[in-house]
């Protein structure tokens, strides 16, 4: 033991455990379970293993409401990532993970290691990573009233998070095929970075993380351990404050080159059959991987910390166990197969060294410099963390906010100007400034790139493809967490359905404030119950996910932000559908009902500078019928384009379906105020383009299923190669009940929308 | 035709190039590990994109000193066709098989998108198939952070006079390269380096099939 380390008694008396994330009661429980006072290393191990990030102590009871099983689920929550069968002997592996706190302090590395971490989760299951997606939240990029320093900081965070994702993902060679970015004041001090990884494996390649076989070697693989990221998991489970910047050492540094070598070497090692089990070293590093592997296998593990590769001198046992250095994995080999494993890693120049072995006694035993420095029964570290049923209380201000449903402004005189303003807000503007920094095509399996409702990646060796999307509208959740939670799941599913896929399962990223506050816990509880209800109804199992709590700055919480990652199966590549118009003369059909629903909408936010009232309603029966019917007609091959209506309503959905070459002529008969008609965010709506010959057929099917279906206009061509509206600049014309409300040239309008974020980033503050 | 796809640590378009080449009837592609000392028996050598050695030092700098490079130099000198794409192009300039250098994009950001290219010389073993296409314009994807081709004015004149500039960006130039250069050959014409990815444009579902022609030209 290092001589300058506090003794067990000092840890007790000076409450050193508090720095490691344990409160008084939790520390007392540790002492009771061990029957003695833990030393520093042991206290640190409990600190990380009992953090929210590793133990889910605040959210466990709520998460149990999610359905986790289904006929196609091969692996639910509990391993690195969920695994779902996709037929032909293949399965898809996917999961979302957050890197919010590190990204708030050091955006480039915070985001980069987020990508690295989730990819290790994917290939630790045996899968080849085939795609990543991301869901990002930042403060506003400009605001005339805000402090200039804050705006510069926000742009720095946004620019560097994107660069970090690009820097890691592009180098490791996994395409970024989709994602979303939103901007709101509530994220100014606490940005959100959620990354979703997706992989494909053959069933016989599936790996697990159970250590078994007494005497089997435990092999440490990857980069040497340094002092970076010590207590990252604990840091992630605290609120951010002025001192957070001083915690910069808690941020890890990524090495995508080593990440790439690790992927290739690990996949080769799996094929050799020489290893028994594997787990990545993510949150809580060597501590979490060793204890979880041993615990899952019902065995123990003994490690000699002197054998752990180290890149800093004189590291203590505490530091070695708590480091979150990146690009590391832990393996348990099959008996006598160590040399084969070493040879493969050597070929790839990846360090690999035996650091211990599996033991019968169910303890984690650590040796350092010949001394025993920790011995912890696994059932205390892994199974015994406290589980909290937090107090839940609906805040009075929520009730008051929900009652403010009246629309307090009159219809704007010039809706075209309002529309132009709306499509230039960063939240609705094209995200091409972001996704053009990501390689979306490497591995040459991407058939739908970023910019449509879902990214689509082909499954090689089959006629199938996977559609994937990540989505979440926190404004709805803020106004009414339960409805917001329902919409989050329904919309994610709708996105992949619009791409021609049957949704298979979801992964959830729950980003909330401090659950010890009853109002925050109420948000979490309500949102989870709305999500669970929708998952059960739509038969969408939750196969894994991530909980990120304590997203607060100086006591102010972010909007409750559940994001939902979904993967859907396209049975035949021919079914792949995008949101983009493709033929002049195709008929525009609007499926679903449009109602007076502006609560939480982008339009309301722009008009009022805040949101009030209730979010749009979601009728699960209607949603299910809509999704099933749409999928049927897509499968029949008559749908040219399909686009989910979301933020910004019909007007924005029309614009984002247009291309350089195809605009629209719309006249919609609708009994609503014109601004509500254009910008309402009513749920369960989809915009289709269908060839004139097939339009009636679609209408008949929709009528039979009871899905409202309105002919609202047609696609018109533009461009130099022949135009039937607006000449080479094209046209974007919307009339309501015969009265023109938007009569714009298409391509200038698209330019405004396409370059808005780039312009915003360049305006000086 | 037997094609080698060189695999460096950190190559990540090796698989795409391997698939693309094997997709063309009459081409058999094989991987060759970067420590190999021989490229004998191959009719063409493909140097893939990616981040060899994690772009340590400079993109392509370490790969240009990898064990296989001697064999690559020998093959190029003897007239074997060599195609370097993206990081492969960077490696070919770093090892001196092609003149000039690839700087950071003028916008200082990585760019991934489809670009329009003009085939400036169809009289090369890589581009003969583009003859007769309407205005010899092709659409390929770029994905790079360091694609800004640079050389001194003497070199540029030589490149222009010898017809070594094979691909130029048409319309807008995404990375600020001199003379809109997207791809060049050596003086002998058997070594081509290009930033755009023909292996990503093999079928309509990928967004373009214009890359096929390049591989077919190489075969013929």
CA dist A251 and A244 (Å) reads 11
Q: Indicate whether A238 pLDDT > 70.
A: no
Interface pTM (ipTM) of the complex? 0.96
Stretch A626-648: mean pLDDT, rounded?
A: 98
Cβ–Cβ gap A257/B54 under 8 Å: yes
A257 closest CB neighbour out of B10, B143, B199? B10
pLDDT bucket at A68, cuts 50 / 70 / 90: very high
- A126 to A162, A205, A275: CA distances (angstroms): 28, 6, 11
Alpha carbon distance B27, B212 (integer Å):
12
Q: What is the pLDDT of residues A478-529, one digit of tens each?
A: 999 999 999 999 999 999 999 999 999 999 999 999 999 999 999 999 999 9
Q: How confident is the model at residue A645 (pLDDT cuts 50, 70, 90)?
A: very high
Residue A231 pLDDT greater than 80, yes or no: no
Ramachandran quadrant class, B93 (left: phi over 0; alpha: psi -120 to 50; beta: rest):
alpha
Under 8 Å between Cβ of A712 and A656: no
Answer whether residue A748 shows pLDDT above 90.
yes
- Decide if B145 touches A, using CB distance below 8 A: yes
Q: Do B110 and A171 touch (CB under 8 A)?
A: no
Using an 8 Å CB-CB cutoff, list chain B residues near A440: 112
Distance CA A183, CA A602 (A): 11
**Average pLDDT over every residue of A146-162:** 93
In this prediction, residue A237 carries a pLDDT of 61
Which two three-digit tokens encode residue A597?
């629903």
Q: Does B112 qualify as catalytic in the annotation?
A: no
CB-CB neighbors (< 8 A) of B55 in chain A? 171, 257
Q: Residue A762 — very low, low, confident or very high, per pLDDT cuts 50/70/90?
A: confident
Mean pLDDT for A715-727 is 72
Residue-by-residue DSSP string for A3-42: TTSPPHHHHHHTTGGGGGT--HHHHHHHHHHHTS---HHH
Q: Is B136 helix (H, G, I), strand (E, B) or coil?
A: helix
Contacts of A449 in chain B (CB under 8 A): 207
Q: Where are the alpha helices (DSSP H) in chain B?
A: 14-23, 69-77, 87-94, 153-161, 212-219
- pLDDT above 70 covers a percentage of chain A that reads 96
Question: Residue range A698-707: average pLDDT?
Answer: 98
- State whether residue B203 sits within 8 Å of chain A by CB: no
Residue A723 has a pLDDT of 60
Q: Do A170 and B110 touch (CB under 8 A)?
A: yes
Residue keyed to tokens 């035993």: A365
Which pLDDT band, with edges at 50, 70 and 90, does A1 fall under?
very low
Dist. CA B10–CA A442, nearest whole Å? 13
Chain B nearest CA to A432, separation (Å): 10
Residue A447 CA to residue B205 CA, distance in Å, equals 6
pLDDT digits (tens, 9 = 90+) for A559-588: 999 999 999 999 999 999 999 999 999 999
If you average pLDDT over residues A638-652, what whole number do you get?
98
Domain ranges of chain B: 2-219
B197 classed as catalytic? yes
Q: What is the mean pLDDT of residues A207-223?
A: 96
B2-219 is classed in which CATH architecture? 3-Layer(aba) Sandwich (3.40)
pTM of the model: 0.96
Q: Which of B86, B94, B141, B144 is catalytic?
A: B86
DSSP SS3 for A557: strand
Q: Is the pLDDT of residue B165 over 50?
A: yes
CB contact under 8 A, B51 and A261: no
Measure in Å the smallest separation between the Cα of B153 and chain A Cα atoms: 31
Which chain A positions have a beta carbon within 8 Å of B145's beta carbon?
170
Closest alpha carbon to A57 in A193, A233, A281: A233
pLDDT at position A232, please? 63
- Local confidence band at A145 (pLDDT 50, 70, 90 cut-offs): confident
Residue B10 contacts A where some CB pair is shorter than 8 Å: yes
Q: Which residues of B touch A578 (CB under 8 A)?
A: none
pLDDT at A2 exceeding the cut of 70: no
Does any CB of chain B come closer than 8 Å to the CB of residue A265? Answer: no
What local confidence, expressed as pLDDT, does residue A241 receive?
Answer: 66
Average pLDDT, chain A: 94
């Amino acid at each position: 033991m290092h001589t300058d380390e506090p003794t067990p008694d000092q840890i007790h008396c000076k409450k050193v455990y508090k720095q490691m994330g344990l409160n008084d009661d939790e520390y007392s429980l540790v002492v009771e379970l061990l029957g003695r006072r833990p030393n520093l290393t042991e206290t640190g191990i409990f600190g990380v293993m009992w953090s929210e990030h590793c133990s889910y102590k605040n959210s466990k009871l709520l998460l149990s409401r999610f359905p986790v099983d289904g006929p196609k689920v091969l692996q639910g929550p509990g391993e690195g990532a969920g695994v779902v069968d996709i037929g032909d002997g293949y399965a898809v592996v996917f999961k979302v993970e957050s890197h919010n706190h590190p990204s708030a302090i050091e955006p480039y590395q915070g985001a980069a290691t987020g990508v690295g971490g989730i990819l290790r989760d994917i290939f630790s299951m045996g899968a080849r990573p085939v795609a990543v997606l991301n869901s990002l939240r930042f403060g506003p990029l400009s605001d005339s009233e805000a402090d200039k320093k804050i705006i510069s900081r926000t742009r720095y965070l946004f620019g560097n998070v994107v660069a970090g994702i690009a820097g890691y993902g592009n180098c490791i060679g996994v395409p970024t095929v989709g994602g979303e970015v939103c901007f709101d004041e509530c994220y100014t001090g606490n940005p959100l970075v959620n990354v979703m990884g997706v992989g494909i494996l053959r069933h016989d390649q599936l790996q697990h993380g159970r250590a078994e076989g007494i005497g089997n070697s435990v092999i440490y693989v990857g980069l040497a351990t340094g002092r970076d990221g010590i207590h990252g998991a604990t840091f992630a489970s605290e609120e951010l404050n002025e001192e957070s910047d001083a915690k910069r050492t808690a941020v890890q540094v990524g090495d995508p080159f080593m990440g790439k070598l690790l992927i290739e070497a690990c996949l080769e090692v799996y094929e050799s059959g020489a290893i028994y089990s594997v787990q990545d070293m993510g949150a809580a590093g060597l501590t979490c991987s060793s204890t979880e592997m041993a615990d899952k296998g019902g065995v123990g593990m003994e490690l000699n910390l002197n054998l752990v590769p180290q890149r800093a001198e004189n590291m203590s046992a505490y530091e070695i166990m708590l480091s979150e250095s990146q690009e590391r994995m832990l393996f348990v080999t099959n008996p006598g197969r160590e040399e084969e494993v070493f040879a493969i890693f050597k070929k790839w120049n990846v360090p690999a060294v035996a650091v211990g072995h599996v033991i019968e006694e169910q303890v984690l035993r650590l040796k350092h410099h010949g001394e025993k420095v920790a011995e912890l029964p696994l059932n205390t570290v892994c199974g015994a963390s406290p589980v909290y049923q937090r107090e839940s209380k609906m805040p009075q201000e929520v009730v008051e906010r929900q009652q403010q449903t009246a629309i307090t402004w009159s219809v704007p005189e010039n809706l075209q100007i309002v529309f132009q303003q709306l499509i230039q807000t960063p939240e609705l503007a094209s995200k091409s400034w972001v996704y053009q920094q990501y390689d979306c095509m490497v591995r040459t399996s991407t058939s739908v790139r970023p910019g449509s409702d879902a990214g689509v990646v082909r499954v090689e060796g089959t006629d199938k493809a996977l559609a994937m999307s990540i989505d979440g509208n926190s404004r709805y959740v803020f106004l009414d967490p339960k409805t917001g939670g329902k919409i989050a799941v329904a919309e994610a599913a709708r996105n992949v359905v619009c791409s021609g896929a049957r949704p298979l399962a979801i992964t959830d990223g729950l980003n909330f404030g401090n659950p010890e506050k009853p109002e925050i816990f109420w948000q979490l509880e309500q949102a989870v119950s709305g999500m669970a209800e929708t998952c059960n109804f739509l038969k969408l199992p939750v196969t894994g996910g991530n909980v990120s709590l304590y997203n607060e700055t100086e006591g102010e919480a972010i909007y409750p932000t559940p994001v939902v990652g979904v993967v859907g199966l396209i049975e035949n590549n021919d079914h792949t559908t995008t949101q983009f118009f493709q033929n002049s003369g195709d008929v525009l059909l609007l499926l679903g009902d449009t109602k007076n629903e502006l609560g939480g909408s982008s339009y309301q936010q722009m008009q009022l500078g805040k949101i009030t009232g209730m979010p749009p309603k979601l009728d699960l029966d209607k949603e299910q019928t809509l999704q099933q019917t749409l999928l049927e007609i897509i499968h029949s091959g008559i749908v040219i384009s399909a686009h989910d209506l979301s933020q910004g309503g019909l007007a924005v959905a029309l614009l984002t379906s247009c291309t350089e070459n195809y605009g629209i002529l719309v006249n919609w008969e609708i009994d609503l105020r014109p601004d509500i008609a254009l910008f309402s965010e009513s749920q369960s709506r989809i915009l289709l383009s269908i060839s004139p010959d097939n339009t009636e057929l679609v209408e008949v099917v929709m009528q039979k299923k009871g899905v409202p279906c309105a002919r609202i206009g047609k696609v018109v061509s533009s461009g130099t190669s022949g135009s039937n509206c607006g000449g080479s600049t094209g046209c974007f014309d919307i009339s309501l009940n015969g009265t023109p409300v938007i009569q714009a040239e298409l391509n200038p309008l698209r330019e405004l929308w396409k370059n808005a974020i780039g312009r915003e980033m360049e305006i000086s503050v | 035709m037997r094609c080698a796809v060189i695999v460096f640590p950190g190559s990540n378009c090796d698989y795409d190039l391997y698939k693309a080449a094997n997709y063309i009837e009459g081409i058999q592609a094989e991987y060759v590990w970067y420590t190999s000392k021989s490229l004998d028996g191959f009719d063409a050598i493909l140097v893939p994109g990616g981040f060899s050695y994690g772009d340590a030092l400079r993109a392509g700098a370490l790969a240009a000193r990898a064990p296989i490079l001697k064999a690559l130099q020998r093959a190029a000198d003897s007239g074997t066709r060599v195609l370097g794409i993206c990081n492969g192009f960077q490696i070919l300039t770093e090892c001196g098989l092609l003149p000039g250098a690839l700087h950071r994009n003028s916008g200082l950001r990585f760019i991934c998108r489809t670009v329009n290219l003009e085939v400036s010389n169809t009289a090369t073993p890589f581009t003969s198939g583009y003859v007769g296409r309407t205005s010899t314009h092709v659409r390929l994807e770029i994905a790079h952070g360091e694609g800004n081709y640079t050389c001194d004015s003497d070199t540029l004149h030589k490149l222009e006079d010898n017809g070594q500039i094979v691909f130029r960006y048409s319309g807008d130039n995404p990375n600020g390269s001199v003379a809109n250069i997207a791809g060049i050959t050596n003086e002998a014409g058997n070594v081509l380096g290009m930033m755009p990815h023909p292996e990503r444009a093999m079928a309509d579902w990928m967004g373009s099939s214009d890359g096929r022609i390049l591989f077919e030209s190489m075969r013929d």
